[in-house]
Structure 1
Amino acid sequence: MSTLGAVALDDIPLFPLNTVLFPGGSLALRIFEPRYLALVRDCTKNGQGFGVCLILSGTEAGLPAAPAAVGTLARIDDFYTLPDGLLGIRASGSRRFRVAHSRVRDNGLVHGEVAWWPDEPVVPVPPEHGLLATILERLLERAGGEHARAERARFDDASWVGFRLAEFLPLEMSERQHLLQLSDPLARLDALTRCIPRFQSA
Protein backbone atom coordinates (compact mmCIF):
# COMPACT_ATOMS: atom_id res chain seq x y z
CA MET A 1 0.00 0.00 0.00
CA SER A 2 1.20 3.53 -0.81
CA THR A 3 -0.32 6.96 -0.43
CA LEU A 4 -1.16 9.82 -2.74
CA GLY A 5 -1.55 12.83 -0.50
CA ALA A 6 -3.91 11.65 2.22
CA VAL A 7 -5.42 8.87 0.08
CA ALA A 8 -4.20 5.30 0.70
CA LEU A 9 -3.59 3.29 -2.46
CA ASP A 10 -3.72 -0.48 -2.80
CA ASP A 11 -1.90 -2.46 -5.47
CA ILE A 12 -4.13 -4.90 -7.39
CA PRO A 13 -3.85 -6.83 -10.66
CA LEU A 14 -5.99 -5.42 -13.46
CA PHE A 15 -7.91 -7.41 -16.07
CA PRO A 16 -8.82 -5.09 -18.99
CA LEU A 17 -11.94 -6.42 -20.74
CA ASN A 18 -14.42 -5.39 -23.40
CA THR A 19 -17.09 -5.21 -20.73
CA VAL A 20 -18.06 -3.17 -17.68
CA LEU A 21 -18.53 -4.90 -14.34
CA PHE A 22 -20.83 -3.22 -11.82
CA PRO A 23 -20.95 -3.67 -8.04
CA GLY A 24 -23.17 -6.67 -7.36
CA GLY A 25 -22.82 -7.88 -10.94
CA SER A 26 -21.51 -11.23 -12.15
CA LEU A 27 -18.83 -12.15 -14.64
CA ALA A 28 -17.90 -15.41 -16.37
CA LEU A 29 -14.44 -15.63 -17.94
CA ARG A 30 -12.54 -18.14 -20.05
CA ILE A 31 -8.89 -18.04 -19.00
CA PHE A 32 -6.09 -19.17 -21.30
CA GLU A 33 -3.24 -16.63 -21.31
CA PRO A 34 -0.39 -17.42 -18.87
CA ARG A 35 -0.56 -13.96 -17.26
CA TYR A 36 -4.24 -14.42 -16.38
CA LEU A 37 -3.76 -18.01 -15.24
CA ALA A 38 -1.17 -16.58 -12.85
CA LEU A 39 -3.66 -13.89 -11.78
CA VAL A 40 -6.32 -16.50 -10.96
CA ARG A 41 -3.79 -18.65 -9.10
CA ASP A 42 -2.55 -15.73 -7.00
CA CYS A 43 -6.04 -14.39 -6.25
CA THR A 44 -7.27 -17.83 -5.23
CA LYS A 45 -4.22 -18.45 -3.05
CA ASN A 46 -4.35 -15.06 -1.32
CA GLY A 47 -8.11 -14.61 -1.18
CA GLN A 48 -7.80 -11.34 -3.07
CA GLY A 49 -9.69 -9.86 -5.99
CA PHE A 50 -8.66 -8.32 -9.29
CA GLY A 51 -9.72 -5.14 -10.99
CA VAL A 52 -11.94 -5.22 -14.08
CA CYS A 53 -11.57 -2.16 -16.31
CA LEU A 54 -13.10 -1.44 -19.69
CA ILE A 55 -10.56 -1.50 -22.54
CA LEU A 56 -10.16 1.94 -24.08
CA SER A 57 -7.66 0.83 -26.70
CA GLY A 58 -6.14 -2.53 -27.56
CA THR A 59 -7.54 -6.03 -27.23
CA GLU A 60 -8.19 -8.56 -24.47
CA ALA A 61 -5.48 -10.93 -25.73
CA GLY A 62 -1.93 -10.14 -26.76
CA LEU A 63 -0.20 -6.89 -25.87
CA PRO A 64 -1.41 -5.12 -22.69
CA ALA A 65 -4.46 -2.96 -23.40
CA ALA A 66 -5.12 0.56 -22.12
CA PRO A 67 -7.77 0.31 -19.37
CA ALA A 68 -10.26 2.91 -18.19
CA ALA A 69 -9.29 4.67 -14.97
CA VAL A 70 -12.45 3.62 -13.10
CA GLY A 71 -13.24 -0.06 -12.61
CA THR A 72 -14.71 -2.60 -10.22
CA LEU A 73 -13.04 -5.17 -8.00
CA ALA A 74 -13.97 -8.74 -8.97
CA ARG A 75 -13.85 -11.58 -6.45
CA ILE A 76 -13.66 -15.15 -7.70
CA ASP A 77 -16.66 -17.22 -6.58
CA ASP A 78 -15.91 -20.44 -8.44
CA PHE A 79 -13.62 -21.97 -11.03
CA TYR A 80 -14.06 -25.03 -13.23
CA THR A 81 -12.80 -26.79 -16.35
CA LEU A 82 -14.56 -25.89 -19.58
CA PRO A 83 -15.44 -28.50 -22.26
CA ASP A 84 -12.42 -27.38 -24.30
CA GLY A 85 -10.13 -28.04 -21.32
CA LEU A 86 -9.55 -24.37 -20.49
CA LEU A 87 -10.10 -22.75 -17.12
CA GLY A 88 -13.40 -20.98 -16.49
CA ILE A 89 -14.15 -18.71 -13.55
CA ARG A 90 -17.19 -16.98 -12.13
CA ALA A 91 -16.63 -13.73 -10.28
CA SER A 92 -18.79 -11.05 -8.69
CA GLY A 93 -18.41 -7.29 -8.65
CA SER A 94 -17.49 -5.60 -5.39
CA ARG A 95 -16.08 -2.11 -4.77
CA ARG A 96 -15.35 0.51 -7.40
CA PHE A 97 -11.93 2.11 -7.65
CA ARG A 98 -9.95 4.72 -9.56
CA VAL A 99 -6.50 3.85 -10.89
CA ALA A 100 -3.90 6.40 -9.81
CA HIS A 101 -0.90 4.67 -11.40
CA SER A 102 -0.45 1.53 -13.47
CA ARG A 103 2.47 -0.55 -14.65
CA VAL A 104 3.04 -3.67 -16.72
CA ARG A 105 4.91 -6.51 -15.07
CA ASP A 106 7.41 -8.73 -16.86
CA ASN A 107 4.73 -11.35 -17.53
CA GLY A 108 2.51 -8.78 -19.26
CA LEU A 109 0.05 -8.46 -16.37
CA VAL A 110 -1.09 -4.92 -15.65
CA HIS A 111 -1.06 -3.81 -12.01
CA GLY A 112 -2.64 -0.65 -10.71
CA GLU A 113 -2.37 1.44 -7.58
CA VAL A 114 -5.99 2.20 -6.84
CA ALA A 115 -8.04 4.41 -4.54
CA TRP A 116 -11.31 2.84 -3.40
CA TRP A 117 -14.62 4.59 -3.84
CA PRO A 118 -17.05 4.56 -0.90
CA ASP A 119 -20.19 2.46 -1.22
CA GLU A 120 -23.20 4.41 -2.37
CA PRO A 121 -25.84 5.21 0.24
CA VAL A 122 -29.13 3.33 0.14
CA VAL A 123 -31.55 5.81 -1.44
CA PRO A 124 -35.18 4.92 -2.25
CA VAL A 125 -36.25 4.95 -5.90
CA PRO A 126 -38.24 8.19 -6.26
CA PRO A 127 -41.76 8.02 -7.73
CA GLU A 128 -40.69 9.62 -11.01
CA HIS A 129 -38.34 6.69 -11.59
CA GLY A 130 -40.75 3.97 -10.52
CA LEU A 131 -41.06 2.80 -14.12
CA LEU A 132 -37.36 1.84 -14.09
CA ALA A 133 -37.91 -0.61 -11.23
CA THR A 134 -40.85 -2.13 -13.14
CA ILE A 135 -38.78 -2.48 -16.31
CA LEU A 136 -35.97 -4.10 -14.35
CA GLU A 137 -38.35 -6.57 -12.74
CA ARG A 138 -39.63 -7.64 -16.16
CA LEU A 139 -36.12 -7.96 -17.56
CA LEU A 140 -35.05 -10.12 -14.65
CA GLU A 141 -38.14 -12.33 -14.93
CA ARG A 142 -37.12 -13.12 -18.52
CA ALA A 143 -33.42 -13.48 -17.78
CA GLY A 144 -33.74 -15.58 -14.62
CA GLY A 145 -30.70 -16.16 -12.45
CA GLU A 146 -29.70 -14.86 -9.05
CA HIS A 147 -31.01 -11.31 -9.43
CA ALA A 148 -34.47 -12.56 -10.44
CA ARG A 149 -34.76 -14.00 -6.92
CA ALA A 150 -33.79 -10.73 -5.21
CA GLU A 151 -35.79 -9.48 -2.26
CA ARG A 152 -38.53 -6.95 -3.02
CA ALA A 153 -36.65 -4.29 -1.04
CA ARG A 154 -33.91 -4.34 -3.68
CA PHE A 155 -36.29 -2.83 -6.23
CA ASP A 156 -36.60 0.26 -4.02
CA ASP A 157 -32.80 0.71 -3.79
CA ALA A 158 -31.82 3.34 -6.36
CA SER A 159 -28.22 2.17 -6.54
CA TRP A 160 -29.11 -1.50 -7.05
CA VAL A 161 -31.79 -0.73 -9.64
CA GLY A 162 -29.44 1.56 -11.55
CA PHE A 163 -26.55 -0.90 -11.61
CA ARG A 164 -28.77 -3.81 -12.67
CA LEU A 165 -30.45 -1.83 -15.47
CA ALA A 166 -27.03 -0.66 -16.68
CA GLU A 167 -26.13 -4.36 -17.00
CA PHE A 168 -29.31 -5.62 -18.66
CA LEU A 169 -30.26 -2.82 -21.05
CA PRO A 170 -28.57 -3.02 -24.49
CA LEU A 171 -26.32 -0.03 -23.92
CA GLU A 172 -23.04 0.85 -25.58
CA MET A 173 -19.99 0.05 -23.46
CA SER A 174 -19.12 3.74 -23.31
CA GLU A 175 -22.59 4.40 -21.82
CA ARG A 176 -22.10 1.64 -19.26
CA GLN A 177 -18.73 3.10 -18.30
CA HIS A 178 -20.33 6.52 -17.84
CA LEU A 179 -23.01 5.01 -15.57
CA LEU A 180 -20.34 3.19 -13.56
CA GLN A 181 -18.47 6.44 -13.00
CA LEU A 182 -21.49 8.34 -11.67
CA SER A 183 -21.33 8.62 -7.89
CA ASP A 184 -24.97 9.69 -7.36
CA PRO A 185 -27.52 6.84 -7.69
CA LEU A 186 -30.29 9.30 -8.57
CA ALA A 187 -28.19 10.87 -11.33
CA ARG A 188 -27.72 7.32 -12.71
CA LEU A 189 -31.50 6.80 -12.72
CA ASP A 190 -31.92 10.14 -14.51
CA ALA A 191 -29.47 9.02 -17.20
CA LEU A 192 -31.21 5.66 -17.59
CA THR A 193 -34.61 7.34 -17.87
CA ARG A 194 -33.31 9.32 -20.85
CA CYS A 195 -32.26 6.03 -22.49
CA ILE A 196 -35.60 4.21 -22.14
CA PRO A 197 -37.47 5.89 -25.07
CA ARG A 198 -34.74 4.69 -27.41
CA PHE A 199 -35.55 1.07 -26.60
CA GLN A 200 -39.32 1.53 -26.54
CA SER A 201 -39.30 2.82 -30.11
CA ALA A 202 -36.97 0.04 -31.37
Structure 2
Amino acid sequence: MTAKNDVPAMPTIDIPLFPLDAVLFPGGEIALRIFEPRYLDMVRDCARDDSPFGVCLILDGTEVGAPATPAAVGTLARIVDFSTTPDGLLGIRAQGTQRFRLARSRVRDNGLAHGEVETWADEARVEMPVEFHLLATILERLLEKTGSVHAKASRERFDDAGWVGFRLAELLPLDNRERQKLLQTTDPLERLAQLMHTLPRFQSG
Protein backbone atom coordinates (compact mmCIF):
# COMPACT_ATOMS: atom_id res chain seq x y z
CA MET A 1 0.00 0.00 0.00
CA THR A 2 1.26 3.48 -0.85
CA ALA A 3 1.14 6.02 1.95
CA LYS A 4 -0.96 9.13 1.34
CA ASN A 5 2.06 11.41 1.27
CA ASP A 6 4.29 9.25 -0.89
CA VAL A 7 5.22 10.79 -4.25
CA PRO A 8 5.97 8.50 -7.18
CA ALA A 9 9.65 8.88 -8.01
CA MET A 10 10.72 9.37 -11.62
CA PRO A 11 14.05 8.28 -13.12
CA THR A 12 17.25 9.63 -11.54
CA ILE A 13 19.01 12.40 -13.49
CA ASP A 14 22.29 14.27 -13.04
CA ILE A 15 21.97 18.05 -12.82
CA PRO A 16 24.00 21.08 -11.72
CA LEU A 17 22.84 22.51 -8.38
CA PHE A 18 22.37 26.16 -7.47
CA PRO A 19 21.99 26.44 -3.66
CA LEU A 20 20.24 29.70 -2.76
CA ASP A 21 18.83 31.59 0.22
CA ALA A 22 15.45 31.08 -1.43
CA VAL A 23 12.90 28.36 -2.14
CA LEU A 24 11.58 27.87 -5.68
CA PHE A 25 8.18 26.23 -6.14
CA PRO A 26 6.78 24.43 -9.18
CA GLY A 27 5.25 27.05 -11.46
CA GLY A 28 7.13 29.86 -9.75
CA GLU A 29 9.85 32.09 -11.14
CA ILE A 30 13.13 33.36 -9.80
CA ALA A 31 15.44 36.12 -11.06
CA LEU A 32 19.18 35.63 -10.56
CA ARG A 33 22.32 37.70 -11.07
CA ILE A 34 25.11 35.51 -12.40
CA PHE A 35 28.75 36.50 -11.88
CA GLU A 36 30.73 33.57 -10.45
CA PRO A 37 32.55 31.60 -13.18
CA ARG A 38 31.04 28.28 -12.03
CA TYR A 39 27.50 29.61 -12.52
CA LEU A 40 28.35 31.36 -15.78
CA ASP A 41 29.51 27.95 -17.02
CA MET A 42 26.31 26.37 -15.71
CA VAL A 43 24.08 28.90 -17.48
CA ARG A 44 26.03 28.46 -20.73
CA ASP A 45 25.64 24.68 -20.60
CA CYS A 46 21.96 24.77 -19.63
CA ALA A 47 21.19 27.27 -22.40
CA ARG A 48 23.12 25.25 -24.98
CA ASP A 49 21.48 21.94 -24.08
CA ASP A 50 18.08 23.33 -23.03
CA SER A 51 18.57 21.49 -19.75
CA PRO A 52 17.51 22.33 -16.18
CA PHE A 53 19.47 23.08 -13.05
CA GLY A 54 18.39 22.42 -9.50
CA VAL A 55 17.50 25.13 -6.99
CA CYS A 56 17.94 24.08 -3.36
CA LEU A 57 17.64 26.06 -0.15
CA ILE A 58 20.99 26.56 1.59
CA LEU A 59 21.06 24.79 4.94
CA ASP A 60 24.62 25.74 5.78
CA GLY A 61 26.97 28.15 4.03
CA THR A 62 26.46 31.09 1.68
CA GLU A 63 25.51 31.68 -1.95
CA VAL A 64 28.97 33.00 -2.83
CA GLY A 65 32.26 31.23 -2.27
CA ALA A 66 32.72 27.72 -0.92
CA PRO A 67 30.04 25.17 -1.90
CA ALA A 68 27.07 25.36 0.48
CA THR A 69 25.10 22.49 1.99
CA PRO A 70 21.80 22.18 0.09
CA ALA A 71 18.44 20.92 1.31
CA ALA A 72 17.59 17.40 0.14
CA VAL A 73 14.41 18.51 -1.67
CA GLY A 74 14.56 21.16 -4.37
CA THR A 75 12.98 22.21 -7.66
CA LEU A 76 14.16 21.91 -11.24
CA ALA A 77 14.54 25.30 -12.92
CA ARG A 78 14.55 26.10 -16.63
CA ILE A 79 15.93 29.37 -17.97
CA VAL A 80 13.20 31.37 -19.73
CA ASP A 81 14.88 34.75 -20.24
CA PHE A 82 18.24 36.54 -20.21
CA SER A 83 19.04 40.18 -19.46
CA THR A 84 21.82 42.52 -18.42
CA THR A 85 21.47 43.89 -14.90
CA PRO A 86 22.03 47.62 -14.11
CA ASP A 87 25.51 46.76 -12.80
CA GLY A 88 26.40 45.04 -16.06
CA LEU A 89 26.08 41.44 -14.89
CA LEU A 90 24.23 38.60 -16.57
CA GLY A 91 20.66 38.25 -15.35
CA ILE A 92 18.47 35.21 -15.89
CA ARG A 93 14.86 34.42 -15.16
CA ALA A 94 14.14 30.75 -14.45
CA GLN A 95 10.86 28.89 -13.98
CA GLY A 96 10.31 26.10 -11.49
CA THR A 97 9.07 22.78 -12.87
CA GLN A 98 9.29 19.47 -10.98
CA ARG A 99 10.43 18.91 -7.43
CA PHE A 100 13.24 16.45 -6.75
CA ARG A 101 15.01 14.67 -3.94
CA LEU A 102 18.80 14.76 -3.87
CA ALA A 103 20.21 11.23 -3.77
CA ARG A 104 23.90 12.15 -3.78
CA SER A 105 26.03 15.14 -4.69
CA ARG A 106 29.59 16.00 -5.61
CA VAL A 107 31.57 19.16 -6.31
CA ARG A 108 33.40 19.57 -9.60
CA ASP A 109 36.85 21.11 -9.94
CA ASN A 110 35.33 24.50 -10.80
CA GLY A 111 33.36 24.52 -7.53
CA LEU A 112 29.99 23.76 -9.13
CA ALA A 113 27.91 21.22 -7.23
CA HIS A 114 26.23 18.45 -9.20
CA GLY A 115 23.65 16.03 -7.91
CA GLU A 116 21.98 12.80 -8.82
CA VAL A 117 18.34 13.57 -8.17
CA GLU A 118 15.09 11.63 -8.18
CA THR A 119 12.43 13.81 -9.76
CA TRP A 120 8.92 13.76 -8.36
CA ALA A 121 5.82 13.39 -10.49
CA ASP A 122 3.56 16.44 -10.66
CA GLU A 123 0.85 16.55 -8.02
CA ALA A 124 -2.57 15.38 -9.13
CA ARG A 125 -5.09 18.22 -9.38
CA VAL A 126 -7.24 18.52 -6.26
CA GLU A 127 -10.28 20.81 -6.08
CA MET A 128 -10.22 23.52 -3.41
CA PRO A 129 -12.44 22.44 -0.49
CA VAL A 130 -14.84 25.10 0.79
CA GLU A 131 -12.96 25.41 4.09
CA PHE A 132 -9.93 26.77 2.20
CA HIS A 133 -11.73 29.29 -0.03
CA LEU A 134 -10.40 32.12 2.15
CA LEU A 135 -6.89 31.21 1.00
CA ALA A 136 -7.88 31.54 -2.66
CA THR A 137 -9.37 34.98 -1.92
CA ILE A 138 -6.21 36.09 -0.12
CA LEU A 139 -4.11 34.84 -3.03
CA GLU A 140 -6.15 36.84 -5.56
CA ARG A 141 -5.59 40.03 -3.55
CA LEU A 142 -1.88 39.37 -3.12
CA LEU A 143 -1.42 38.71 -6.83
CA GLU A 144 -3.20 41.95 -7.72
CA LYS A 145 -1.18 43.92 -5.16
CA THR A 146 2.21 42.54 -6.18
CA GLY A 147 1.65 42.52 -9.93
CA SER A 148 2.85 38.93 -10.05
CA VAL A 149 3.25 37.07 -13.33
CA HIS A 150 0.26 35.03 -12.11
CA ALA A 151 -1.99 38.08 -11.60
CA LYS A 152 -3.98 37.27 -14.75
CA ALA A 153 -4.30 33.55 -14.06
CA SER A 154 -7.52 31.89 -15.18
CA ARG A 155 -10.35 31.37 -12.72
CA GLU A 156 -9.85 27.61 -12.73
CA ARG A 157 -6.35 28.06 -11.30
CA PHE A 158 -7.88 29.30 -8.06
CA ASP A 159 -9.84 26.05 -7.79
CA ASP A 160 -6.59 24.02 -7.89
CA ALA A 161 -5.42 23.31 -4.32
CA GLY A 162 -1.83 22.61 -5.34
CA TRP A 163 -1.45 25.78 -7.40
CA VAL A 164 -3.01 27.98 -4.71
CA GLY A 165 -0.76 26.47 -2.06
CA PHE A 166 2.44 26.96 -4.03
CA ARG A 167 1.58 30.56 -4.94
CA LEU A 168 0.69 31.49 -1.35
CA ALA A 169 3.90 29.87 -0.11
CA GLU A 170 5.78 32.24 -2.43
CA LEU A 171 3.90 35.40 -1.51
CA LEU A 172 3.18 35.22 2.22
CA PRO A 173 5.99 36.62 4.43
CA LEU A 174 7.21 33.25 5.65
CA ASP A 175 10.77 32.36 6.56
CA ASN A 176 12.65 30.04 4.24
CA ARG A 177 12.52 27.07 6.60
CA GLU A 178 8.72 27.31 6.54
CA ARG A 179 8.75 27.56 2.75
CA GLN A 180 11.00 24.50 2.57
CA LYS A 181 8.55 22.53 4.70
CA LEU A 182 5.73 23.53 2.37
CA LEU A 183 7.79 22.52 -0.66
CA GLN A 184 8.43 19.10 0.85
CA THR A 185 4.76 18.55 1.72
CA THR A 186 3.30 16.14 -0.80
CA ASP A 187 -0.42 16.49 -0.01
CA PRO A 188 -1.92 19.74 -1.44
CA LEU A 189 -4.61 19.85 1.26
CA GLU A 190 -2.09 19.38 4.05
CA ARG A 191 -0.11 22.28 2.56
CA LEU A 192 -3.22 24.48 2.63
CA ALA A 193 -3.87 23.50 6.25
CA GLN A 194 -0.34 24.55 7.17
CA LEU A 195 -0.88 27.89 5.43
CA MET A 196 -4.19 28.43 7.26
CA HIS A 197 -2.34 28.06 10.56
CA THR A 198 0.00 30.92 9.59
CA LEU A 199 -2.76 33.44 8.81
CA PRO A 200 -3.35 34.80 12.36
CA ARG A 201 0.28 35.96 12.31
CA PHE A 202 -0.46 38.35 9.43
CA GLN A 203 -3.73 39.81 10.68
CA SER A 204 -3.52 43.49 11.62
CA GLY A 205 -4.71 44.92 14.85
Could you say which TM-score interval applies, normalised by the shorter chain?
A: over 0.9
2:53 aligns with one of 50, 55, 61: 50
> What letter matches 2:35 in structure 1?
F
Distance 2:10 2:158 in 1: 34
Distance 1:139 1:54 in 2: 24
Is the deviation greater in 10-19 or in 145-154? 145-154
Distance 1:56 1:10 in 2: 22
> What letter matches 1:194 in structure 2?
H
Distance 2:83 2:143 in 1: 26
Distance 2:87 2:141 in 1: 35
1:151 aligns with one of 150, 154, 160: 154
- Local SS of the residue matching 1:55: strand
1:32 aligns with one of 22, 27, 35: 35
Corresponding position of 1:22: 25
Please tell me whether residue 99 in structure 1 is matched to residue 99 in structure 2. Answer: no
Distance 1:21 1:71 in 2: 7
Number of residue pairs matched by the alignment: 197
Distance 1:67 1:163 in 2: 20
Q: Taking CA–CA contacts closer than 8 Å with sequence separation of 6 or more, which of the two structures ends up with the larger relative contact order?
A: 2
After TM superposition, the runs of 4+ consecutive aligned structure 1 residues lying more than 3 A away are none
1:70 aligns with one of 63, 68, 73: 73
Corresponding position of 1:181: 184
Corresponding position of 1:3: none
Distance 1:132 1:145 in 2: 17
Distance 2:184 2:131 in 1: 23
TM-score by length of 1: 0.95
1:104-157 CA-to-partner distances (Å, cap 9, x unmatched) read 000000000000111001101100000000000000010113200000000000
Distance 1:7 1:88 in 2: 31
Q: CA deviation at 1:201?
A: 4.1
| Matching of residues 80-119 of structure 1 within 5 Å | 80-119=83-122
Q: CA deviation at 1:8?
A: 3.1
Unaligned runs of 5+ in 2: 1-8
1:68-93 CA-to-partner distances (Å, cap 9, x unmatched) read 00000000001111121110000100
Contact 2:10–2:119, Cα closer than 8 Å, also in 1: no
Distance 2:125 2:38 in 1: 38
Give the RMSD, CA atoms, in angstroms: 1.1
- Local SS of the residue matching 2:101: strand
- Local SS of the residue matching 2:150: helix
Q: CA deviation at 1:21?
A: 0.1
> What letter matches 2:141 in structure 1?
R
Distance 1:18 1:143 in 2: 21
Corresponding position of 2:3: none
